[in-house]
């Protein structure tokens, strides 16, 4: 009977589940929904969306369901609107940018949107106050650098790269990324030696944020497993903390060099010296992240297109030859500069066509809707992820006839839909769909275009890019066109190719140009440091700018002071806990009653042992507490002087007051009681002639324990407050 009941119950549950799934299936595939592939309850279409080359599947669905320029799908309950037509993208992401410019949360990053105030990753932030102020500052820095022609950094690094390719051509993929990284490291910190780690950090972040990265970006519930059984979260903790520490170290190193007058022009110096005095950026932690992220983004936005330039030129030697002829005719036998760009339309056309033919952000970067909306009669709920599918935009046969073929003439010859005049201005990379849409359009378009003109132009000036031959068979090694990683920003899989100097004279000229540029750079740096040293020798500065502090503040990092003072607080706390809960109670174990003969002996013994406590306090721990007063007071004053951190100084002032209370309490309440207990060692007669009642020996000691609780609580409060401020990174 029980078996029958259980069977019936199972059938009922099964029927109810099937009914629920059928109802849900009909709901999510109803006629009111935008067109798209059939969705399965809870799964959507995650079961047949490949992690690798995801954009190809999206394009396949676009051809089936994207007749209106968009279609809809789901992934584990997340709603997606895949946009396949530029007009729809313009409508939703530009004209309605006010409501469609948020970013979706990336599960495998901690607070990727900065919803909780992390303020770390500008391109991934939600549309909030941190995003607005960081975007404004980033735009101003890049614009100024563009107007200054990047202080010649791009030319210097392109010459270095040509020399490296001559000396070690097989290492071209590393040296390519290193060239892009060195440019950004010099612009950000004026230190090209940071490039190798910066590149590693950039690709680490890109992997973590990509669907093809950790599986937790696709199977999002796995991210919420407990830490002990969550290797993905452990790995991200390590990557994240290391990256943040590195960014902050670079920031503080720049500040230290500035204090000695040894820091040349760079974005970080510009921030500390000028911007920090008037910006709404919250402090050093946010500033170091903003600048570090700026350096990282400039690496993979250049490395991807530049890698595909190599692939493209190997497969299209006719266009490579056309670019070489143009440079030879227009640049006087030298590598092209940005001043030559208006005279080099073929070079610019080939760069732009490479980015169209092999886009390095083929899926586009998702926006997220902030309100419910209706478009073309279809309801789009709040929280929908709008994905502008760049692969579809750039293969639109109406705008780009023969889209699968590399055809730079589409940008150069009248009659093509994409042709624009004059050719001194067009073609240009600015405004390409690959750089995003509306308020989320990439701020580095000019930087990317300029670096590609310099790098690709230098390659064409110096080398013939060819397939490499197998040394055994003599056969050409293939350079694949369809092999790449599947990260959010892609680059070709490793391949082999040959860099053949166009002539011995050109080879020697390239090496000479690098030697000359390197010697000048070393000379300029040495001269700058000599000048700084001479100035210090003439008059050593007593003051120097520290973060947002004005001139006149001592050159001592508030973070360093607070870190030291924190140790004082917790040393005091540990000592007081030991005294109140271990040391003194141990002396009072089985303490005899005053009416017993043993009491007088026990009282004298207590008095003899007592100086161990109060002498240590007078000689050692009272100075530590006094140091805490001055340390926290200094840090509070430093924070007060920062215009944008007026709240922080109050917390640190409380910490200073806590230490002051401890010192006063020790002098006023604890010291007289110490004297009484000390008098017990002399049968109740103190050193100053005071007399105490020996029968109250245990009472004195237990009262001392209670009064000492102030020395437990005050350092604990002071240290906790200061620790919270330090963790926030808002002291410098």
Assess contact for 148 and 134: CB atoms under 8 A.
no
CB atoms under 10 Å from CB of 12, counted, come to 10
**pLDDT one-digit tens code per residue, 691-701:** 778 788 788 77
Q: What pLDDT is attached to residue 251?
A: 96
Give me the percent of the chain exceeding a pLDDT of 70.
Answer: 91
Round to whole Å and give the CA distance between 183 and 162: 14
Q: At what angle do helices 172-189 and 231-259 cross, to 10 degrees?
A: 50
Residue 637's pLDDT is: 73
Cα 344 to Cα 501: distance, rounded to the nearest angstrom = 21
The dihedral through the CA atoms of 152, 154, 156, 159 has a sign that is: negative
Q: What is the pLDDT of residue 554?
A: 40
Looking at the predicted structure, is the pLDDT value of residue 76 above 90? no
**How remote is the C-alpha of 599 from its chain's centroid?**
68
**Which of 449, 249, 447 minimizes the C-alpha distance to 347?**
449
Lowest mean pLDDT among 116-120, 383-387, 533-537, 687-691: 687-691
What is the separation, in whole angstroms, between the first and last Cα of the chain?
75
Cβ atoms 281, 134 nearer than 8 A: yes
Q: Is 442 annotated as a binding residue?
A: yes
Torsion over CA of 344, 348, 349 and 355, rounded to 10 degrees?
A: 170
Q: Are 722 and 631 in contact (CB under 8 A)?
A: no
Are the C-beta atoms of 316 and 213 separated by less than 8 Å? no
d(CA 200, CA 627): 42
C-alpha–C-alpha distance, residues 446 and 499, integer Å: 28
DSSP state of 708: T
Most confident range (mean pLDDT) of 116-130, 447-461, 686-700 is 447-461
Q: Which helix (H) or strand (E) holds 336?
A: none
Nearest CA to 719 out of 633, 671, 664, 656 is that of 656
Taking the C-alpha atoms of residue 460 and residue 527, their distance in angstroms, rounded to an integer, is 34
Closest by CA to 680, choosing from 558, 567, 588, is 588
User: Burial level of 47, CB count in 10 A (0-12/13-18/19+)?
Assistant: exposed
In this predicted structure, the answer to whether residue 540 has a pLDDT above a threshold of 90 is no
Cα–Cα dist 176/165, whole Å: 9
Give the pLDDT of residue 20: 72
Q: Partners of 463 in the beta sheet?
A: 501
Q: Are 461 and 324 in contact (CB under 8 A)?
A: yes
More confident residue, 394 or 631: 394
Residue 471's CB: how many other CB atoms inside 10 A? 6
Q: Among 381-385, 526-530, 609-613, name the one with the lowest average pLDDT.
A: 609-613
431: exposed, middle or buried (Cβ count in 10 Å: 0-12, 13-18, 19+): exposed
Which tokens belong to 209?
A: 């944020």
Cα distance between residue 33 and residue 45, in whole Å = 15
- Where would I find the H helices in 66-111? 86-89
Query: Rounded CA gap, 309 and 479, in Å?
Result: 12
* Residue 230 binned pLDDT confidence (cut-offs 50, 70, 90): very high
Containing 176, the helix (H) or strand (E) segment is helix 172-189
239/242 Cα distance (integer angstroms) = 5
pLDDT in tens, 595-621: 787 787 777 777 777 776 666 555 566
**What is the reported pLDDT for 547?**
35
Average pLDDT over residues 620-626: 71
**d(C-alpha 362, C-alpha 351), whole Å:** 16
Q: Which residue has the higher pLDDT, 718 or 559?
A: 718
583 has pLDDT over 80: no
d(CA 584, CA 592): 15
- What's the pLDDT score for residue 728? 55
CA dist., res. 658 & res. 652, Å (int): 10
Q: Are 701 and 692 in contact (CB under 8 A)?
A: no
* Structure tokens that stand for 501 in this block: 């100097």
- Is the predicted pLDDT of residue 472 greater than 80, yes or no? yes
């Amino acid at each position: 009977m029980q078996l029958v009941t259980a069977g019936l119950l199972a059938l009922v549950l099964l029927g109810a589940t099937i009914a629920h799934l059928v109802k849900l299936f009909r709901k999510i595939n109803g006629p009111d929904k935008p067109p798209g592939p059939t969705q399965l309850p809870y799964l959507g279409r995650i079961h047949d969306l490949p992690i690798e080359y995801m954009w190809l599947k999206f394009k396949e669905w676009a051809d089936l369901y994207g007749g209106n320029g968009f279609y809809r799908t789901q992934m584990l309950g997340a709603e997606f609107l895949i946009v396949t037509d530029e007009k729809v993208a313009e409508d939703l992401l530009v004209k309605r940018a006010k409501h469609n410019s948020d970013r979706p949360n990336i599960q495998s990053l901690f607070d990727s949107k900065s919803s909780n105030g992390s303020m770390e990753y500008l391109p991934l932030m939600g549309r909030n106050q941190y995003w607005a102020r960081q975007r404004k500052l980033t735009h101003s820095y890049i614009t100024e650098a563009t107007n200054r022609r990047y202080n010649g950094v791009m030319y210097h690094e392109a010459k270095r790269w040509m020399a490296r390719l001559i000396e070690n051509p097989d290492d071209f993929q590393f040296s390519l990324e290193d060239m892009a990284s060195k440019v950004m490291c010099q612009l950000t910190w004026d230190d090209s030696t940071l490039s190798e780690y910066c590149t590693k950090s950039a690709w680490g972040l890109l992997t973590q944020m990509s669907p093809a990265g950790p599986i937790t970006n696709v199977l999002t519930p796995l991210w919420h497993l407990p830490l002990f059984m969550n290797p993905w979260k452990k790995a991200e903790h390590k990557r994240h903390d290391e990256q943040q520490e590195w960014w902050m170290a670079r920031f503080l190193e720049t500040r230290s060099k500035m204090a000695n007058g040894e820091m040349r022009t760079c974005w970080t110096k510009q921030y500390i010296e000028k911007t920090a005095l008037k910006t709404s950026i919250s402090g050093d932690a946010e500033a170091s992240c903003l600048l570090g992220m700026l350096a990282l983004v400039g690496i993979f936005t250049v490395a991807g297109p530049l890698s595909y330039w190599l692939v493209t030129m190997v497969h299209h030697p006719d266009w490579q030859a056309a670019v070489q002829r143009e440079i030879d005719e227009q640049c006087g036998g030298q590598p092209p500069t940005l001043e030559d760009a208006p005279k080099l339309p073929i070079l610019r056309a080939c760069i732009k066509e490479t980015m169209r033919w092999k886009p390095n952000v083929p899926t586009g970067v998702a926006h997220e809707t902030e309100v419910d909306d209706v478009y073309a009669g279809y309801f789009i709920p709040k929280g929908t992820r709008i994905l502008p599918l760049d692969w579809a935009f750039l293969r639109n046969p109406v705008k780009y006839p023969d889209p699968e073929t590399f055809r730079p003439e589409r940008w150069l010859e009248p009659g093509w839909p994409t042709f624009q005049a004059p050719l001194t201005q067009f073609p240009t990379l600015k405004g390409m769909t690959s750089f995003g849409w509306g308020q989320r359009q990439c701020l580095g378009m000019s930087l990317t275009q300029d670096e590609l003109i310099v790098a690709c132009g230098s390659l064409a000036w110096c080398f013939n890019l060819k397939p490499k031959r197998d040394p055994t068979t003599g056969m050409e090694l293939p350079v694949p066109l369809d092999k790449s990683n599947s990260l959010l920003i892609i680059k070709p899989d490793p391949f082999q190719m040959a860099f053949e100097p166009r002539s011995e004279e050109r080879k020697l000229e390239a090496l000479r140009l690098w030697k000359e540029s390197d010697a000048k750079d070393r000379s300029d740096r040495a001269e700058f440091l000599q000048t700084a040293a001479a100035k210090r020798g003439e008059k050593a500065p007593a003051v120097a700018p520290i973060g947002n502090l004005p001139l006149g503040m001592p050159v001592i990092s508030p973070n360093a002071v607070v870190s030291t003072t924190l140790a004082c607080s917790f040393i005091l706390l540990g000592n007081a806990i030991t005294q109140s809960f271990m040391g003194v109670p141990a002396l009072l174990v089985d303490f005899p009653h005053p009416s017993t003969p043993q009491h007088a002996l026990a009282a004298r013994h207590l008095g003899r042992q007592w100086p161990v406590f109060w002498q240590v306090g007078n000689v050692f721990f009272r100075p530590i507490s006094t140091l805490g007063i001055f340390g926290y007071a200094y840090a509070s004053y430093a924070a007060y002087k920062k215009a944008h951190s007026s709240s922080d100084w109050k917390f640190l002032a409380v910490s200073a007051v806590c230490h002051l209370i401890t010192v006063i309490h020790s002098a006023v309440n604890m010291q007289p009681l110490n004297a009484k207990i000390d008098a017990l060692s002399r049968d109740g007669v103190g050193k100053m002639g005071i007399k105490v009642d020996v029968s109250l020996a245990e009472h004195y000691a237990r009262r001392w324990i209670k009064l000492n609780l102030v020395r437990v609580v005050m350092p604990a409060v002071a240290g906790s407050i200061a620790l919270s401020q330090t963790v926030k990174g808002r002291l410098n």
